[in-house]
Amino acid sequence: MELTERANILVRFNEADPLGIVWHGHYVRYFEDGREAFGEKYGLRYLDIYKYGYTVPVVKVSCDYKRSLRYGDRAIVETRYIDTAAAKIKFEYTLYNAASGEIVAKGSSMQVFLDKETSTLQLTIPPFFEDWKKQWGVL
């Protein structure tokens, strides 16, 4: 089963740089917007995970820029869960120009689990996330 969610992005004036295009650093924020939309659909928002006793800091992020976005453009971020055997959460992102349908960027992120009280890195998959995987048919 494939777990994905799409979210709308409206490019703000203050996100475009002197060249008139969205500054590349803002895409990391778009990815987080996508991840949160995914989390809302599948019960995996930061707040949900926090309630289970964990924080999930990003330990790796990457982005390939294919086309540019301009102020006023509408984009769609598609967030796809990629299952791994490790105690990690991996997502892949595809950013589309909503008008043309063209791919604007592709990216990925990796998160780990820390105990929210002690900040200890979890080397095995936390029980709540095993349950989550079962619930959504990825285990």
Instruction: Report, as residue numbers or ranges, the catalytic residues.
Output: 17
By C-alpha distance, which of 59, 55, 45, 61 is closest to 132? 45
Residue with tokens 């895409």: 27
In the complex with its own copies, the residue whose CB is nearer, 82 or 138, is 82
103 binds its own copies (CB under 8 A): no
8 Å CB contact between 97 and 75: yes
Residue 115 is a binding residue for its own copies (CB under 8 A): no
Q: Which of 43, 59, 74, 135 binds its own copies (CB under 8 A)?
A: 59
Contact present, 98 and 74 (Cβ < 8 Å): yes
Residues near its own copies (CB under 8 A), total: 33
> At closest approach, how far in Å is the CB of 44 from its own copies?
13
Nearest approach, Cβ of 12 to its own copies (angstroms)? 7
Answer yes or no whether residue 86 interacts with its own copies by CB under 8 A. Answer: no
Q: Are strands 74-82 and 4-10 parallel, antiparallel or unpaired?
A: antiparallel
33 lies in the site for its own copies, by CB under 8 A: yes
Determine, following the binding rule CB under 8 A, whether residue 17 of this chain makes contact with its own copies: yes
Single residue of 2, 18, 117, 137 touching its own copies by CB under 8 A: 18
Contact residues: its own copies, CB under 8 A: 12-14, 16-21, 23-25, 28-29, 32-33, 36, 45-47, 55, 57-65, 68, 71-72
